[in-house]
Amino acid sequence: MARSYVHEARKRVGPRRERIRPIIERLAADHPDAVIALRFRSDLELLVSVMLSAQTTDVTVNRVTQRLFAKYRRPEDYLAVPEAELEADLRPTGTYRQKARNLRAAMRVLLEEFNGQVPTRLDELVRLPGVGRKTANVVAAERGATQGIVVDTHVRRLSQRLGFTRQHDPARIERDLQRLVPRADWARFPHLLIWHGRRVCNARKPRCERCVVNDLCPSSRVTGMVHAIAQSKRL
């Protein structure tokens, strides 16, 4: 029954490739301010901010980095203090001991292998301790060197709801999205889904009546109700 409903819903809204461009355009119009919420002034600050954003909010990270970046300006600065001191500076972001270890290890690699500069290529970024593909994708995209599509919890949830993927693994979701999303939109697409997920299509109670793409979404309760009413009138 559930599979039949999903199949009918997907037929109702049309193929993915026909929907992707209007969805991107509508979301861009509805969220013109959809950009990264982290505050940074350099490549190093960008890297640190994204690394600290795991399992916490961007608001918390920005509050912490306001003081952090005044104290730590170069990779060497993160290694010049005792690890316990760095941990204390990171404490509000949660999992601060692991984050401190990762930051110090990443700074060592930057100094030893990249002359203190943050690399741009994904294969080099993921060599930094504490940097996975998602973090690497964010850093590369924000530097104008987009090589993939960021998949966070919002992107995963909305991509599934919109019928763009049936996968749950972030790497497989990214591959599905790369086949579907025009490459020119790889950088902004995650931001659009993230902001739409925060403002409209939240996890527990999506506001489908407010959604600008509800007629293109197979999970929309609004289009589902309209379809059900239309079907009942035919009977």
Which residues does the annotation mark as catalytic? 134, 152
Distances (CA, A) of 105 to 54, 61, 92, 176, 190: 17, 20, 20, 33, 28
Contacts of 228 (CB under 8 A, 6+ apart): none
Q: Which of 57, 186, 194, 62 is nearest to 122 (CA)?
A: 186
> Is residue 219 a contact partner of residue 161, using CB atoms and an 8 Å limit?
yes
- Distant-in-sequence, close-in-space partners of 102: CB < 8 Å, separation ≥ 6: 51, 129, 130
Token pair 């998949």 is found at 151
